[in-house]
Amino acid sequence: MKKFSSDKDIQKFVAMLIRSGWVYMHGSKHGKLRSPEGKKVTVPGSPSDKRAYKNFVTDIRKIARST
């Protein structure tokens, strides 16, 4: 499996999003996910904040809700 993040929960969530039609793009410092509608969100590669997974999921939900 491709490595998207050092956090195991974010890793699993990104893999699930890719299977459901999202596209992962390499950035110069951070990876990005593009939704099927074309909206982008940054993937935390090495999160140091314990709330990083929760914040990432919240960002994804906001994007999914806005379409």
Residue 42 domain flag: yes
Q: What is the mean pLDDT of residues 33-42?
A: 95
In a domain, 58, yes or no: yes
Q: What's the whole-number mean pLDDT along residues 34-63?
A: 94
Banded model confidence at residue 67, pLDDT cuts 50, 70, 90: low
Is the residue at 1 inside a domain?
no
Greatest CA separation for the chain: 30
Is 56 within a domain? yes
Q: What confidence score (pLDDT) does residue 27 get? A: 83
Mean pLDDT, range 41-56, rounded to an integer: 93
Note down the domain range covering 13. 8-65
pLDDT over 90, % of the chain:
76
Report the CATH number at residue 36: 3.30.920
d(CA 42, CA 3): 15
Q: How many domains does the chain have?
A: 1
Whole-angstrom Cα distance, residue 55 to residue 51? 6
